[in-house]
C-alpha cells in the first residue's frame, strides 16, 4: 500500500478511536458501584453548594449532575438518595446503604470510606450578632465562647480537633445552625460560608467574620474497601474537572464562592 494511503488509514483509525469517547469502566468498578443493579448516590441537602431541592421538588446541583453523569458512564440507572446532613450521609456510606456520596475530606471519615481527590473547594466561616465584640476568626477560640455547629459536618470534625478553649454546641443539621444559634443565644455560628450568607440575609442582625477559618475540600466517597470504584471515580472526577464539567455545573446552578479544585490525587 502506498505511503499516503497508509498514513490516511492510520489517521482514520486514530480519529475513529477518539470518536468512541471515554473508555468503558472496568467490570470491577461497575460491580462495586452497582451491586444492587443501580447507582445509589447520596445527595446532601445540608450543603447548598452541592445540592438543593428544585422548584419541581427534585434534587439539583453539581453533585446531582456528577452522579447522573457517572451513572451514564457506568451504564447503570441512578437512584438519588437525599439526606439533610453530612453526618447522615456518612452513616449511610458506612452502612453501605448508598454506593457513592459527596462529602468533605476528613481524616476521621477516612476510616470508613475511600475518597477521590476533591472536585470543589469551599470555605468554612463564622457568623456572630452585629453587636458581638468578636471581630476576627482568631478571637473565637476563647473560654466561655459557645459555637453552634452542624453535628457530623466537616467543620464540626475540624473544630473538634482545633478548638482548645471555646465549646461546641452541636445541632442536628447544618441548615439549622443559625436558627439554633439565635434560639439558644449562643455566641458564634460556624458553617459553610454560602449557607451563613443566605441565613444572614434571611434573619438580619448578624454578620460574618472576615475571611475563613478553614478550607473544605469536597470529594466523592465510596464505602471502605471498594478500591476499584475509588480508582475509577478518581479518574472520572479528574476528567470532569479538566473538561470544564464541574465549572459549568457551578455556573448553571448559580453557585458563587466555590472554586473548582486543582488536579490532585485521592486523600
Q: What is the percent of the chain with per-residue pLDDT over 70, rounded to a whole number?
A: 91
Q: What is the pLDDT of residue 3?
A: 42
Cell numbers found for residue 120: 470543589
Q: What is the pLDDT of residue 17?
A: 40
Can you tell me which residue has the cell 458581638? 132
- Residue 20 CB contacts under 8 Å (≥ 6 apart), including other chains: none
The CATH superfamily holding the domain 25-120+218-260 is Periplasmic binding protein-like II (3.40.190.10)
- The residues with which 100 forms a beta bridge, in sequence order, are 41
pLDDT surpasses 90 at 47: no
Q: Do domains 25-120+218-260 and 122-214 have the same CATH topology?
A: yes
What is the rounded CA–CA span in Å between residue 122 and residue 125? 10
Of the pLDDT bands very low, low, confident and very high (cuts 50, 70, 90), residue 108 is confident
10 pLDDT exceeds 50? no
pLDDT of residue 201: 95
List, in order, residues 6 or more apart from 78 with CB less than 8 Å away. Answer: 38, 39, 41, 67, 68, 70, 71
Identify the pLDDT of residue 256.
81
For residue range 53-90, what is the model confidence (pLDDT) as tens digits? 999 999 999 999 999 999 999 999 999 999 998 889 99
Q: Residue 18 phi/psi, 5° resolution?
A: -65, -35
Confidence check: pLDDT of 176 > 50? yes
For residues 123 and 192, the answer to whether their CB atoms sit within 8 Å is: yes
Q: What is the mean pLDDT of the segment spanning 89-109?
A: 93
All structural domains of the chain with their residue ranges: 25-120+218-260, 122-214
The predicted pLDDT at position 86 comes to: 87
12 versus 119: which is more confidently predicted? Answer: 119
Long-range contacts of 260-264 (CB under 8 A, 24+ apart): 260/119, 260/120, 260/121, 261/117, 261/118, 261/119, 261/120, 261/121, 261/217, 261/218, 263/117, 263/238, 264/117, 264/118
Task: Give the CA distances from residue 25 to residues 7, 73, 74, 241, in Å, rounded to whole numbers and listed in that order.
Answer: 31, 7, 6, 18
In tens, the pLDDT along 212-250 reads 999 999 999 999 999 999 999 999 999 999 999 999 999
Q: What is the CATH number of domain 122-214?
A: 3.40.190.10
Q: How many CB atoms lie within 10 A of CB 118?
A: 23
| pTM for the structure as a whole | 0.77
Amino acid at each position: 500500500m502506498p505511503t499516503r494511503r497508509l498514513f490516511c488509514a492510520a489517521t482514520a483509525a486514530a480519529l475513529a478511536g477518539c470518536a468512541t469517547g471515554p473508555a468503558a469502566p472496568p467490570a470491577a468498578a461497575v460491580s462495586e458501584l452497582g451491586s444492587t443493579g443501580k447507582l445509589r448516590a447520596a445527595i446532601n441537602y445540608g450543603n447548598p453548594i452541592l445540592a438543593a431541592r428544585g422548584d419541581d421538588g427534585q434534587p439539583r446541583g453539581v453533585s446531582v449532575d456528577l452522579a447522573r453523569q457517572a451513572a451514564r458512564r457506568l451504564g447503570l440507572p441512578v437512584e438519588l438518595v437525599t439526606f439533610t446532613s453530612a453526618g447522615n450521609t456518612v452513616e449511610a456510606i458506612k452502612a453501605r446503604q448508598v454506593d457513592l456520596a459527596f462529602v468533605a475530606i476528613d481524616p476521621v471519615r477516612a476510616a470508613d470510606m475511600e475518597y477521590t481527590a476533591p472536585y470543589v473547594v469551599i470555605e468554612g466561616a463564622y457568623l456572630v450578632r452585629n453587636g458581638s465584640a468578636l471581630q476576627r476568626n482568631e478571637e473565637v477560640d476563647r473560654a466561655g465562647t459557645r459555637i453552634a455547629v452542624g453535628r457530623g459536618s466537616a467543620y464540626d470534625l475540624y473544630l473538634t480537633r482545633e478548638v482548645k478553649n471555646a465549646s461546641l454546641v452541636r445541632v442536628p443539621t447544618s441548615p439549622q445552625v443559625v436558627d439554633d444559634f439565635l434560639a439558644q443565644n449562643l455566641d458564634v455560628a460556624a458553617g459553610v460560608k454560602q449557607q451563613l450568607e443566605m441565613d444572614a440575609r434571611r434573619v438580619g442582625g448578624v454578620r460574618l467574620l472576615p475571611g475563613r477559618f478553614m478550607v473544605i475540600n469536597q470529594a466523592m466517597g465510596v464505602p471502605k474497601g471498594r478500591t476499584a470504584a475509588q480508582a475509577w471515580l478518581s479518574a472520572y472526577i479528574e476528567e470532569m474537572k479538566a473538561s470544564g464539567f464541574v465549572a459549568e455545573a457551578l455556573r448553571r446552578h448559580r453557585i458563587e464562592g466555590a472554586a473548582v479544585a486543582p488536579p490532585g490525587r485521592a486523600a
